[in-house]
A and B are shown apart, each in its own frame.
Chain A
Amino acid sequence: MSSDFAQFQEAFFEEAAEHLAVVEDGLLQLEQHPADLDLLNKIFRSAHSIKGTAGMFGFNAVAQFTHKMETLLDLLRNGQKAVSPSIADLLLTSTDCLKTLIESAKTGVTVDNNTVQRLTAELATASASDAQPAVVGSVKTETASSQRSSGTQTYRIAWTPPDWLFQRGLDPLQFMKELRSLGDLTQITLDASRLPNLSEIDPEKCYLSWEMQLSTAKDVKIIEAVFDFVREDSVLTIEEREALSVKCEMAESGNEMRFTNDERRPDDGSPKPLGEILVESGAVTPAELDQALAQQKRVGEILVEQKTVTPQQLEQALQKQRQQESTTTSKKADTASIRVDTAKIDKLINLVGELVITQSMLSDLGSRFEMSHLPVLLERMAELERNTREIQERVMSIRMLPIGTAFSRFPRLVRDLAAKAGKKIQLILSGEDTELDKTVIESIGDPLTHLVRNSADHGLEPPEERLDNNKQEIGTIRLNAFHQGGNIYITVEDDGRGLNRERIVAKAIKKGLISENEKLTDDQIWPLIFRPGFSTAEQVTDVSGRGVGMDVVKRNIEGLGGAVSIKTTPGHGTIFTLKLPLTLAIIEGMTVRVGQETYIVPLLSILESIQPKPGAVKTVVGKGEVIDVRGTYLPVVRMYEVFALQPEITTPTEAILLILETEGERVAVMVDEILGQQQVVIKSMEQNFRKVDGIAGATILGDGTVGFILDVRGLLEIARHGTSAAVAA
């Protein structure tokens, strides 16, 4: 059996992150509602949970720091201190610090100790005027003494338990058993003299006392420990029989610090450090030991001094060591787990149960099938289909989490951004319960952050400007999430000044993205801000990006199979809409045919499909074929050429052209025929083979054969440059 809980660390970090979010969110709300007791209790519980669990893994820095926060929080919730802005600020900063401490426990990255110490001191000051609970007890010296005695001793133990012994689920026999496990338990005498008359007996009460004799090599402390749970309420005497008698009156209060790390170490079997032993034996004083330790040098330093290694060699070796450390930690971070609501699992189990029943009914039917049973068969098949579909949905929902976890960072972010920019901003969140794939949630955090920053920084005006324009002084940023037609939409909306058409056009011309006399519609202009290197910020602030950003947002969202769109009204604000697939495991696709082959084209990348009129497809020298789609010339890619397939149709006017968009670029892809639209489960090609250019993955088609999912970007690359294999050759 595992001797410690190290394997649960991953779960702890996940849980701690959630608690941190609760604490942070709670503290932010506390600023508005400083007297909300429920809120304070919630914050306190989360801090308390982090402290307790961190200690289990020996993350003492985390536990100690949280303890300081908890002390202050406890005073606040008990009403001994009032929530002031400075206390709220201190707690928020401390939460940040706690975050880095936990991160440090996870990755081993060092923490700025000055900050930790400063905040620890500030927390202590804020909690002052109340006596601090004694954190470090005197256990250590006791432990030392407990190791000293050796040889078997005989003790006389007299015990009168509290009368409520049974009512707390305790059994006197248990105590005897435990004593027996320590040594030889003899001469047990029962004292029943306190037993009242039968009529007066309360059968739930204990009226008995015992005297016994224990021969053991164990220390008296260990014997006392047997009575841990009752010794404050018992009359207990433990006397050493021969020699000097050690008498312990157990009515005194015991020590609270049972299993601290200090105490646990000797039990681990690991020897004590030499210095500690020397101090205990009185050979040196603690001060002398500290001094000696301060002079102690590291192996590397000694070797350099002896000229065994050069400082360069040492530096290299140290670097290697750091690398090894970082690779081990990063490996650890990769094992992601997911926490699933038990209700979801229960439902799934029920469904599997149904599936098993349907299956057995079907096989029963199959073993003695006659044509007359056909209606029953069809009915069962329909049931099977329903079961399968439901199980698929449920299994997919296991990966689904509410988007609120991705939203939770924004109240704090907006608060800080507003403070820094001298703006007044209110953030309104809605649709936090909208569920989407865990991987998607993890990946949209950064793009969303960028959009929110963009709105706070560039979108919303300073208060004076807003007042001048007859707007409310306080600007609003709205984050909303909702489901629609198999997709998730997330909107980031501000009521600021809106995008500036003239400035974007001027900038785009300057950057050479468009030519000066190009006539562009609004819908063509706004997406320009997603082009790499485009930034209209007049001044670069330290919170918002510098030139990078919007292009990264678009790339990240498209990487998830999503899309970004913009709607803006000058003077009234801007809405960014992110359209995302519900899950990464399933995509909505258009099935198309080229010769004998079936391909799936992701629906998100399809703008339209057309059957070109004669003459619409033209050949441009040096550029290949193009098609005029409402005044814009798009390159034509014949799929059969790129994938070396045997097509049925080679004349564009008889074929279908799919107008696809990838990373802002449009292309017309020629296929024989569109077969239909369906959801497909994405299967990995890399699992048993390798990445294939132009193919995003595979899927199982209705007839059980494999179909490929088109990678539009990859297809375009091959059309332009050939496959990477061909390039290599």
Chain B
Amino acid sequence: MAAAVESATKELNQQIGLSTDGSQFLTFNLGEELYGVDILLVQEIKGYTTVTKIPNTPPHIKGVLNLRGTIVPIIELRTKFGMPMIDHTMFTVIVVVVVKEKIMGLVVDSVSDVLNIEKKDIQTSPQFGAKVDVSFLSGIGKSGNKLVALLDLNRLLSDAEMHAGDAALAA
């Protein structure tokens, strides 16, 4: 009985293109490049709205947003990755992610797709492609003919700028 259900589910998943091995990634565009985050960490995607700038923080910390009563920091990924700023368009969105129980929003040019990337198609030590600081990437994934730079959100979150304590320690 249980086995039958399982095989049926698997079949259904394959039909609708869901991965049964490996992970799923929400992919989005920054300029010409495609980035991905583990879909399990994505809480929601919301349209871009004005944020409140936090004084004396680096430029890539865009500010904070009221997300149903919770104060959520917003990170401008373009700035973080040293890309030129562009004006926000109607496609600009904030990808809200939850990492280690902390919520943050990532401003991206537009969301692209949800892709299955099998484990064997992920290269963990990227040497090519992305122009960004590779320390925030967990790997480069391949899906069909697309290359996706996979973000390591843990590292992005543990970025010293997100914690006052780290900065103080560095002194």
Whether chain A touches chain B in the assembled complex (some CB pair under 8 Å): yes
In the bound complex, how far is the Cα of B97 from the Cα of A497, in angstroms? 64
Q: Decide yes or no whether A113 CB sits under 8 A from chain B.
A: no
Once A688-B104, A692-B55, A727-B171 are accepted as A-B contacts, the answer to whether A683 and B70 lie under 8 Å apart by CB is yes
Give the nearest-CB partner of A725 in chain B: B167
Which residues of chain B from 120 to 167 have a CB within 8 Å of any chain A CB?
Answer: 162-165, 167
In the bound complex, how far is the Cα of B54 from the Cα of A705, in angstroms? 13
Q: Is B55 touching A644 in the complex (CB atoms < 8 A)?
A: yes
Contacts of B70 in A (CB 8 A): 683, 687-688
Q: Is A685 touching B171 in the complex (CB atoms < 8 A)?
A: no
Most central of B51, B66, B104, B170 by chain A CB within 10 Å: B66
Q: Is B103 touching A691 in the complex (CB atoms < 8 A)?
A: no
Q: Is A688 touching B171 in the complex (CB atoms < 8 A)?
A: no
Q: Is B71 touching A690 in the complex (CB atoms < 8 A)?
A: no
In the bound complex, how far is the Cα of B119 from the Cα of A692, in angstroms? 40
Contacts of B168 in A (CB 8 A): 724, 728
Q: Is B52 touching A597 in the complex (CB atoms < 8 A)?
A: yes
Which residues of chain A from 249 to 304 have a CB within 8 Å of any chain B CB?
Answer: none
B10: min CB distance to chain A, Å: 37
In the bound complex, how far is the Cα of B55 from the Cα of A707, in angstroms? 12
In the bound complex, how far is the Cα of B57 from the Cα of A694, in angstroms? 12
A297: min CB distance to chain B, Å: 45
Give the nearest-CB partner of B104 in chain A: A688
Once A692-B57, A694-B56 are accepted as A-B contacts, the answer to whether A706 and B165 lie under 8 Å apart by CB is no
Q: What mask results when residues 643 to 657 of chain A are scored 1 for a CB within 8 Å of chain B, else 0?
A: 111000000000000
In the bound complex, how far is the Cα of B65 from the Cα of A282, in angstroms? 77
Most central of B52, B63, B72 by chain A CB within 10 Å: B52
In the bound complex, how far is the Cα of B165 from the Cα of A685, in angstroms? 14
In the bound complex, how far is the Cα of B55 from the Cα of A644, in angstroms? 7
Q: Decide yes or no whether B73 CB sits under 8 A from chain A.
A: yes
Q: Is B71 touching A705 in the complex (CB atoms < 8 A)?
A: no
A127: min CB distance to chain B, Å: 56
Contacts of A707 in B (CB 8 A): 52
Once A691-B164, A724-B167 are accepted as A-B contacts, the answer to whether A685 and B71 lie under 8 Å apart by CB is yes
Q: How many A-B residue pairs have CB under 8 A?
A: 82
A391: min CB distance to chain B, Å: 14
Q: Is A718 touching B50 in the complex (CB atoms < 8 A)?
A: no
Contacts of A683 in B (CB 8 A): 69-71
Q: Is A688 touching B164 in the complex (CB atoms < 8 A)?
A: no
Give the nearest-CB partner of A707 in chain B: B52
Q: What mask results when residues 25 to 51 of chain B are scored 1 for a CB within 8 Å of chain A, else 0?
A: 000000000000000000000000011
Q: Decide yes or no whether B53 CB sits under 8 A from chain A.
A: yes
In the bound complex, how far is the Cα of B66 from the Cα of A706, in angstroms? 6
Q: Decide yes or no whether A684 CB sits under 8 A from chain B.
A: yes
Q: Decide yes or no whether A448 CB sits under 8 A from chain B.
A: no
B160: min CB distance to chain A, Å: 9
Q: Decide yes or no whether A425 CB sits under 8 A from chain B.
A: no
Contacts of A73 in B (CB 8 A): none
Q: Is B167 touching A643 in the complex (CB atoms < 8 A)?
A: no
Contacts of B71 in A (CB 8 A): 683-685, 687-689, 698, 706
In the bound complex, how far is the Cα of B64 from the Cα of A700, in angstroms? 11
Contacts of A687 in B (CB 8 A): 70-71, 102
Q: Decide yes or no whether A49 CB sits under 8 A from chain B.
A: no
Query: Which among B66, B73, B171 is the interface contact of A689 at CB below 8 angstroms?
Result: B73
Contacts of B57 in A (CB 8 A): 692
Q: Is A688 touching B72 in the complex (CB atoms < 8 A)?
A: yes
A718: min CB distance to chain B, Å: 7
Once A706-B66, A706-B71, A724-B164 are accepted as A-B contacts, the answer to whether A693 and B53 lie under 8 Å apart by CB is no
Q: Is A685 touching B55 in the complex (CB atoms < 8 A)?
A: no
Which residues of chain A from 620 to 662 have a CB within 8 Å of any chain B CB?
Answer: 642-645
Q: Decide yes or no whether A236 CB sits under 8 A from chain B.
A: no
Contacts of A72 in B (CB 8 A): none
Contacts of A698 in B (CB 8 A): 52, 64, 71
In the bound complex, how far is the Cα of B51 from the Cα of A728, in angstroms? 27
Q: Is B52 touching A688 in the complex (CB atoms < 8 A)?
A: no
**The 3 residue pairs across chains A and B that have the minimum distance between CB atoms:** A643-B55, A728-B171, A706-B52
- B residues at A contact (CB < 8 Å): 50-57, 63-66, 69-73, 102-104, 162-165, 167-168, 170-171
What are 10 sample pairs from A and B whose C-beta atoms fall under 8 A apart?
Answer: A687-B71, A688-B71, A689-B102, A694-B56, A695-B55, A698-B52, A700-B69, A705-B50, A705-B52, A708-B55
Further 16 A-B residue pairs, CB within 8 A, beyond A698-B71, A725-B164: A643-B56, A688-B71, A688-B104, A689-B64, A689-B162, A690-B162, A692-B54, A692-B56, A693-B164, A694-B56, A700-B69, A706-B65, A706-B71, A708-B52, A718-B56, A724-B164
